[in-house]
């Protein structure tokens, strides 16, 4: 009799243990630990190259132009390709990831606009690019805020 009872109870326990999985938590862990790693490296390379020639690090137009054409734009373009190839299983995370893609697209267009501004020596294009960079920062800030909230809600610690 005990064997028959175990044959019935054990599969029920297995089914119930499956109910405790959190698909969003699993997706987040995969996203942060695996899917976003290559993209993160490309973004870091592009942003670092840009920061090295802009703001307080600005030297001259030619140095910035060279960095944009040889490092920033190519790396950022690859970064966007990586972002678009990230595999996401859940709608909650996909919606947040789309905010990041949108922000990255805006930032990429800003870099291209800065390059154009340098080619044409057009201050209006520089202002347009700066506005685009501000918009991109807003998107990326929104992405980080929502990603952190989703992680907290699903008991995932982000570094």
For the segment 104-154, what is each residue's pLDDT rounded down to a tens digit?
999 999 999 999 999 999 999 999 999 999 999 999 999 999 999 999 999
Name, in order, each residue with C-beta under 8 angstroms of 87's C-beta and a sequence gap of 6 or more.
Answer: 30, 35
pTM (2 decimals)?
A: 0.85
> Taking Cα atoms as reference points, which of 33, 28, 4, 17 lies closest to residue 154?
28
pLDDT at 158: 86
- Three-class secondary structure of residue 95 per DSSP: helix
User: How many angstroms separate the CA atoms of 53 and 68, rounded?
Assistant: 9
d(C-alpha 158, C-alpha 69), whole Å: 33
- Domains along the chain? 22-153 (1.20.120)
Could you tell me the pLDDT band of residue 159, with boundaries at 50, 70 and 90? confident
């Amino acid at each position: 009799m005990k064997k028959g009872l175990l044959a019935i109870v054990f599969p029920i326990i297995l089914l119930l243990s499956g109910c405790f999985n959190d698909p969003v938590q699993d997706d987040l862990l995969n996203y942060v630990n695996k899917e976003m790693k290559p993209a993160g490296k490309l973004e870091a390379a592009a942003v670092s190259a840009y920061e090295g020639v802009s703001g307080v690090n600005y030297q001259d137009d030619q140095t910035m132009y060279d960095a944009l054409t040889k490092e920033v734009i190519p790396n950022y373009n690859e970064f966007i390709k990586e972002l678009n190839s990230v595999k996401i299983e859940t709608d909650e995370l996909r919606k947040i990831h789309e905010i990041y893609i949108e922000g990255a697209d805006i930032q990429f267009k800003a870099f291209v606009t800065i390059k154009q501004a340098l080619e044409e020596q057009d201050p209006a294009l520089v202002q347009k690019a700066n506005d685009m960079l501000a918009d991109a920062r807003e998107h990326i800030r929104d992405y980080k805020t929502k990603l952190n909230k989703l992680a907290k809600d699903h008991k995932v610690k982000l570094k």
